[in-house]
Amino acid sequence: MPAISQHDVNALVQGLWDYMLVGHELRLADCILVLGSHDIRVAEYAIELYQAGYAPYLLFSGGVVQRNVALNVFWDGTEAEVFARLALAEAVPGDKILIEKRSTNTGENLRYSQQLIKSIGLGFKSFILVQKPYMERRVLATALKQWGEGDYIVTSPPLSCAEYLNGDLPREAVIQHIVGDFQRVKVYGENGFQAPQEIPARTWAAFERLVALGYDERLVEA
């Protein structure tokens, strides 16, 4: 990897991070939909929102059993099951927890969750969608494709880029994930998986610089 200071890498990552945040304001909803993730803080934040009264139900979606060596994450159940166990441990009533454990990607998170809601006769009309900070825009773009315009917002744990890069998860692996998720905004917008999103030239240049530096492990074929 070419020589570059950690400060300069951080600045490049910050550019992607800022773009991926969509800046929605929290508001009350019928359901908090938590999309699957390797980051348990996503579930913790969603539980905080529930406990603060933002919605009467928590729906955890995610069928992946995390076995991520790079991030040192090894779970003994699907994302939805692990998140739901945490909610129960935090005294969320079991009848207020819904589990969707078939999905393996963001599109399936939304599609299968809607199917579950309809199958059990809950007429949810408004949603708070919760994911990692650097996936907010991907979630929004996917929701626009899957659901169209609707009564939903996207939010994430209130962590800064610096806090995320210097947290418990390995820094280099986190950057690989951020770069990969950013690229998916463009690629999936072009192939129809998500609604297209405009990407500023400066932000795309930061992405290309990071790829040139070797942060290319999680890129998908364009």
Q: Which domains does the chain have, with CATH numbers?
A: 6-212 (3.40.50.620)
pLDDT beyond 70 at 4? yes
Q: CA nearest 135: which of 166, 102, 170, 110?
A: 110
Report pLDDT digits (tens) over 29-48: 999 999 999 999 999 999 99
**Res 80: pLDDT:** 98
**Res 1: pLDDT:** 47
Average pLDDT on 121-133 reads 97
pTM for this prediction: 0.96
Average pLDDT on 183-205 reads 97
Cα–Cα distance, 108 to 31 (Å, whole number): 17
Report pLDDT digits (tens) over 147-183: 999 999 999 999 999 999 999 999 999 999 999 999 9
Average pLDDT on 2-13 reads 90
**Res 217: pLDDT:** 97
pLDDT beyond 50 at 21? yes
- Give the pLDDT band (50/70/90) at residue 2: low
Mean per-residue pLDDT of the chain: 96
DSSP the chain: -----HHHHHHHHHHHHHHH---PPP---SEEEEE--S-HHHHHHHHHHHHTTS-S-EEEE---EEEETTTTEEEEEEHHHHHHHHHHHTT--GGGEEEE----SHHHHHHHHHHHHHHTT----EEEEE--GGGHHHHHHHHHHHT-S-EEEEE-----HHHHHTSSS-HHHHHHHHHHHHHHHHHHHHHTSS------HHHHHHHHHHHHTT--TT----
